[in-house]
Amino acid sequence: MSRRPLMAGNWKMNLTPAEAAEFARGLRGALLDLPAVDVAVFPTSLAIPAVLNELANTDVVVGGQDLHAEVKGAYTGNVSGEMLKSAGCGMALIGHSERRAYEGEAGEQLANKAKAALRAGLTPIFCVGESLDERESGRTLDIVLGQLADGLGWLTESALGKVVIAYEPVWAIGTGKVASPEQAQEVHAAIRAWVGNTWSAGAARSMRILYGGSVKPANVAGIMTQPDVDGALVGGAALKVDSFEAIVRFQES
Ligand code: 13P
């Protein structure tokens, strides 16, 4: 079964609402003839309405960078999945390594966030990845598959079908040190095998697994040649329309 690529831009804590709207206007023009890929952008919560407004009636999906597990309540500074959904979002990032590192997110908390995204009708992009230390000590697959088991292991097969996984090695994020296509493929293949063993061969075949970490126009095509890489989650190179457009159009280069 062929999986449709998903090219996603995570803007992190960049672009004011006005800058984000300008980006979205540019993206709208650049992607009028969208190639056969899915495209998503993840602005800050504050910029989501402006971006959605500019991208109205396009196929570009707008998502939240995080969500709280509860629907509403006394959780200062947080945004719920239901709020993202009602604003018009279609996806949410969960467990990004920056949230794991700086906000101490892990384990059951991330499982609850994945559950919350599904409850709200959002597609979770569940992020996993090992640090340099973990890779150098030969623990990459233990770490990555452990993060997946903690976060997604409780899902039914039909719920799993709504999830996207993003493999983002921490040592490759924002460092310019992209994983080689072979390094990415090795981990993606292990993730797909884990999905197959935990649920079914069908679930494994349809699971979309994105690679993230220093993806650029110059290296995206090489990464995308790998059979188990189904898209990219892009940070820095997704902050300029022309560079994000080149990534989205990787098949044309
Ligand atoms: P960079 O593309 O800037 O390395 O960031 C990757 C990332 O963290 C996307 O979520």
**CATH classification at residue 127:** 3.20.20.70
Supply the range of the domain harboring residue 48.
6-252
Mind listing the pLDDT tens digit for each residue in 74-87? 999 999 999 999 99
Which residue owns the Cα nearest ligand 1 atom 2? 235
- Which 3 state secondary structure label does DSSP give 244? helix
**CB within 6 Å of ligand 1 — which residues?**
10, 96, 168, 173-174, 212-215, 233-237
96 given a catalytic annotation:
yes
Number of domains in the chain: 1
Model confidence pTM above 0.75: yes
Torsion of CA 169, 159, 37, 64, to 10 degrees: -70
Query: How far does CA 164 lie from the centroid of its chain?
Result: 7
Per-residue pLDDT of the chain (253 residues; tens, 9 = 90+): 589 999 999 999 999 999 999 999 999 999 988 889 999 999 999 999 999 999 999 999 999 999 999 999 999 999 999 999 999 999 999 999 999 999 999 999 999 999 999 999 999 999 999 999 999 999 999 999 999 999 999 999 999 999 999 999 999 999 999 999 999 999 999 999 999 999 999 999 999 999 999 999 999 999 999 999 999 999 999 999 999 999 999 988 7
| Domain annotation covers residue 41 | yes
Which residue owns the Cα nearest ligand 1 atom 1? 235
| Domain annotation covers residue 1 | no
Q: What's residue 106's pLDDT?
A: 97
| Domain annotation covers residue 248 | yes
| Domain annotation covers residue 114 | yes
| Domain annotation covers residue 172 | yes
Query: How far does CA 235 lie from the centroid of its chain?
Result: 10
| Domain annotation covers residue 201 | yes
The Cα 206–Cα 120 span in angstroms is 22
| Domain annotation covers residue 91 | yes
